[in-house]
């Protein structure tokens, strides 16, 4: 007898067997038979004992146990499962007639139990009853004919909508369950899987890509968005390939560009005319991006550039940051109510020379607007931690720490650099610093803090924190609160790691001025990996709190290191996970060395690169004019998208190997080895990334 089997079963020709993990129940037939007769043997224990007997070669005994159990437990609501496994054992013993009879009984008890229909048809087929087998399968096909493609599509949409609404309502476990059902129903459609994986990250459910009998790990990885991937793996090549693939999904079919002829650069260099620069974002408001850009926009040279702000977020009635931005720019445009083509037409009518994407692939982004190429130059800056991998983003503005020259191969855009990629607002209000007692911290403890979002905390990252706490008995870990279920999940992991859950202290949400003020009462900020702190690290530095970080290879994994470097304390950059743990422990044991870092941050506060916002605004304008000059000369770069489909396939293999951290050379060698294997199978064109033409 053969059937379909769960993916976890290694022999696909074996019959489908409903199994249960073995328990401590003794595999003793007499005692098990007695328990079965007296209705004291649960179904789970029945399956466990029978499985143990069968594995020991005692299939006759297993068959007798099943026969006894079904005879004396006819009122058990799960008896059909016993009949099903009884049939499997009978089939293995060569008793096809008995197996067929047991399967018919199983179906009579539960007509909707699909595995029994499948096995019964196969048993009939193996008995030479081809017509009867087909008839059996047709019965089930007819019984489920209402599940046509249209019905499945509707069910998928309903489940996805349930998940979306529950997520917004903050009911994350329920949303996750609904989205998983939708994902398993149609794994080729990525949206449900994308939100499902993101929700698991937010809830610190590890592994994030949980095993499923219906969706392969590769399908799960395919569904993950490029932003979610940043929290999952430190793989810049796969990050680029994922952005490229994700961008095609976001844009969909190529838009009709017949009414959008490509705009040529207007001659402005050397004419005294101002450049028209547009910032397009949903985050020009009370948001980390809005906070970061506010003072930059105020400091732009109005004689050199004319700034247009295109806001594509939700309507805001009262928003102090947005009010400042509106006052700083020359023209404010609200794109609410405009479709992408109409928004692009508006930007074209404004004769924008350089259009800056300050969203990338983040929430409420309007990426499709850029597909219409509403400006001669399109730039990615400040909104998205990585390459866009798109055919229309020509430039990316970052810094030399984030993207050293040798790492430009991981970006499709031409990389231009400022001193530090994290603008800050020096005018932001900061409340008076509270006492430790005010924020629920013990006065005499060494306080490690990490105020990154829960989605950035991975299992290896949390394990490092637990190792640090284990080695420093007088310390606590101060985290930004998540949902209570998530907080409790972390407490449970701590207990399993041998760390008292009382040493995890969760800070409630607070207003931004109060939040920045309270950060400084901690002793040391511990960064996450592979998605490190961005504006949160800048806030910590602003409050005088030293930040310990471990730069990786991706944009997201190097961002915090850029901020720390710009603050003038590069000694806080760690070289490896072991170095990170050792130094975190070392600072607790040698607090004088940590005090020196804190004093260094304070001494350089107003002179550091991090707070040189006038210099940043000036440098941006220099880059705007550089891009304009290149455009006028016909030198605007063409995004390099070569071989990204192949890099995606190779990268998926690399990521699924689950190597959290490795040096650059080892990482590249892994790719080169796999690329060589692909090339041996089907020749790969040479490119300017890793697969370069051999030198003669």
> Tens digit of pLDDT for each residue in 167-184?
988 899 999 999 999 999
The per-residue pLDDT for range 639-672, each reduced to its tens digit, is 999 999 999 999 999 999 999 999 999 999 999 9
Q: What does the mean pLDDT of the chain come to?
A: 92
Residue 24 has pLDDT above 90, yes or no: no
Q: Within a 13 Å sphere around the CA of 511, how many CA atoms are in the beta-carbon half?
A: 7
What's the longest Cα–Cα distance across the chain?
A: 100
Chain-centre distance of CA 195, in angstroms? 9
User: What's the mean pLDDT in 247-254?
Assistant: 89
User: Domains in the chain, please, with CATH?
Assistant: 29-143 (1.25.40.10), 149-224 (1.25.40.10), 225-419+614-641+653-673 (3.40.50.11380), 437-611 (3.40.50.2000)
Q: Going by C-beta distance under 8 Å and a sequence separation of 6 or more, which residues neighbour residue 33?
A: 64, 65, 68
Are 84 and 113 a contacting pair, CB within 8 Å?
A: yes
pLDDT value at residue 30: 54
Q: How many residues are recorded in the chain?
A: 696
Residue 214 has pLDDT above 80, yes or no: yes
Please count the other Cβ atoms lying within 10 Å of the Cβ belonging to residue 442: 14
Per-residue confidence at 23, pLDDT binned at 50, 70, 90? very low
In angstroms, the CA 2 to CA 14 distance is: 5
Pairing mode of beta strands 475-480, 504-507: parallel
Percent of the chain with pLDDT over 70: 96
Instruction: Tell me the β-bridge partners of 396.
Output: 380, 415
In angstroms, the CA 349 to CA 259 distance is: 13
Name the one residue in this structure whose structure tokens are 């990204």: 644
Q: Going by C-beta distance under 8 Å and a sequence separation of 6 or more, which residues neighbour residue 686?
A: 692, 693
The per-residue pLDDT for range 278-307, each reduced to its tens digit, is 999 999 999 999 999 999 999 999 999 999
What the block records as the tokens of 658 is 């689950």
The per-residue pLDDT for range 623-644, each reduced to its tens digit, is 999 999 999 999 999 999 999 9
DSSP string over 26-85: ---HHHHHHHHHTT-S-HHHHHHHHHHHHHTT-HHHHHHHHHHHHHH-TT-TTHHHHHHH
Taking CA atoms, 15 is separated from 87, 88, 425, in Å, by 10, 6, 65
pLDDT value at residue 152: 87
User: What's the mean pLDDT in 133-149?
Assistant: 84
DSSP state of 512: H
Long-range contacts of 666-669 (CB under 8 A, 24+ apart): 667/235, 667/553
Q: Going by C-beta distance under 8 Å and a sequence separation of 6 or more, which residues neighbour residue 539?
A: 451, 515, 516, 519
Question: Considering just the CA atoms, what is the radius of gyration of the chain in Å?
Answer: 30
More confident: 155 or 418: 418
In angstroms, the CA 397 to CA 382 distance is: 8
In angstroms, the CA 463 to CA 41 distance is: 41
pLDDT value at residue 262: 86
Q: Going by C-beta distance under 8 Å and a sequence separation of 6 or more, which residues neighbour residue 256?
A: none
In angstroms, the CA 375 to CA 367 distance is: 14
In angstroms, the CA 193 to CA 220 distance is: 7
3-class DSSP state for residue 436?
coil
User: What's the mean pLDDT in 551-563?
Assistant: 98
Residue 14 has pLDDT above 60, yes or no: no
Q: Three-state secondary structure along 282-345? A: CCCCCCHHHHHHHHHHHHCCCCCEEEEEEECCCCCCCCHHHHHHHHHCCEEEECCCCCHHHHHH
Q: Within a 13 Å sphere around the CA of 194, how many CA atoms are in the beta-carbon half?
A: 16
What pTM does this model have?
0.84
What strands, in cross-sheet order, belong to the sheet with 414-418?
A: 331-334, 305-311, 275-281, 354-357, 377-380, 395-399, 414-418
Q: Give which of 225, 139, 231 is closest to 190, Cα–Cα.
A: 225
User: What's the mean pLDDT in 608-635?
Assistant: 97
Are 89 and 67 a contacting pair, CB within 8 Å?
A: no
pLDDT value at residue 165: 87
């Amino acid at each position: 007898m053969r059937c379909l089997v769960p993916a976890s079963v290694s022999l696909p020709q074996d019959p489908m067997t409903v199994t249960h993990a073995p328990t401590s129940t003794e595999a003793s037939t007499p005692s098990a038979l007695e328990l079965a007769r007296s209705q004291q043997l649960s179904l789970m224990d029945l399956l466990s004992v029978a499985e143990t007997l069968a594995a020991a070669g005692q299939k006759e005994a297993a068959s007798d146990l099943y026969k006894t159990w079904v005879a004396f437990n006819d009122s058990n609501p799960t008896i059909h499962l016993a009949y099903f496994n009884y049939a499997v054992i009978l089939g293995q013993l060569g008793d096809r007639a008995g197996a067929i009879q047991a399967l018919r009984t199983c179906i009579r008890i539960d007509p909707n139990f699909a595995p029994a229909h499948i096995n019964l048809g196969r048993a009939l087929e193996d008995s030479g009853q081809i017509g009867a087998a087909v008839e059996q399968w047709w019965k089930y096909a007819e019984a489920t004919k209402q599940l046509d493609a249209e019905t499945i599509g509707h069910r998928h949409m309903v489940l996805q909508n349930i998940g979306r609404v529950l997520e917004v309502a903050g009911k994350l476990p329920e949303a996750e369950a609904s989205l998983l059902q939708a994902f398993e129903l149609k794994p080729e459609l990525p949206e449900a899987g994308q939100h499902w994986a993101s929700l698991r990250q937010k809830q610190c459910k590890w592994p994030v890509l949980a095993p499923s009998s219906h969706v392969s790990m590769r399908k799960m990885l395919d569904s993950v968005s490029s932003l979610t991937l940043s929290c999952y793996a430190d793989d810049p090549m796969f990050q680029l390939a994922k952005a490229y693939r994700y961008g095609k999904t976001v844009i969909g079919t190529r838009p009709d560009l017949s009414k959008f002829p490509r705009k040529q650069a207007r001659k402005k260099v050397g004419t005294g005319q101002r450049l028209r620069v547009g910032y397009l974002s949903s985050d020009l408001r009370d948001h980390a991006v809005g906070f970061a850009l506010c003072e930059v926009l105020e400091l732009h040279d109005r004689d050199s550039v004319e700034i247009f702000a295109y806001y594509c977020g939700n309507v805001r009635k009262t928003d102090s940051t947005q009010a400042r931005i509106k006052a700083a720019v020359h023209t404010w445009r609200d794109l609410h109510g405009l479709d992408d083509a109409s928004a692009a037409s508006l930007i074209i009518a404004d004769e924008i020379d350089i259009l800056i994407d300050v969203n990338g692939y983040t929430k409420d982004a309007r990426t499709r607007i850029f597909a219409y190429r509403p400006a001669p130059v399109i730039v990615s800056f400040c909104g998205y931690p990585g390459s866009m991998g798109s055919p229309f983003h020509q430039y990316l503005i970052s810094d030399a720490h984030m993207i050293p020259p040798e790492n430009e191969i991981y970006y499709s855009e031409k990389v231009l650099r400022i001193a530090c990629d994290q603008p800050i607002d020096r005018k932001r209000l900061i409340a008076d610093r509270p006492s430790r007692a005010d924020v629920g911290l013990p006065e005499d403890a060494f306080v490690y803090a990490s105020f990154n979002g829960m989605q950035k905390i991975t299992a290896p990252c949390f394990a490092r924190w637990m190792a640090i706490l284990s080695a420093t008995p007088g310390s606590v870990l101060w985290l930004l609160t998540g949902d209570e279920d998530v907080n409790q999940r972390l407490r449970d992991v701590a207990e399993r790691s041998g760390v008292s859950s009382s040493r995890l202290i969760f800070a409630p949400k607070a207003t931004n001025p109060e939040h920045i003020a309270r950060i400084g009462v901690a002793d040391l900020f511990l960064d996450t990996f592979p998605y490190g702190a961005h504006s949160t690290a800048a806030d910590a530095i602003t409050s005088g709190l030293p930040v310990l970080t471990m730069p990786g290879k991706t944009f997201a994994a190097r961002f915090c290191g850029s901020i720390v470097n710009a603050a003038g304390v590069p000694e806080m950059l760690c070289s490896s996970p072991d170095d990170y743990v050792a130094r975190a422990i070392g600072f607790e044991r040698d607090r004088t060395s940590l005090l020196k870092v804190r004093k260094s941050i304070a001494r350089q506060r107003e002179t550091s690169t991090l707070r040189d916002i006038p210099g940043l605004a000036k440098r941006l304008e220099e880059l705007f004019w550089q891009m304009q000059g290149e455009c006028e000369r016909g030198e605007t770069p063409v995004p390099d998208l070569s071989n990204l489909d192949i890099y995606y396939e190779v990268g998926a293999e690399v990521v699924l190997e689950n190597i959290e951290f490795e040096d650059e050379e080892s990482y590249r060698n892994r790719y080169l080895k796999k690329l060589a294997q692909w090339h041996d199978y089907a020749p790969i064109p040479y490119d300017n990334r890793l697969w370069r033409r051999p030198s003669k």
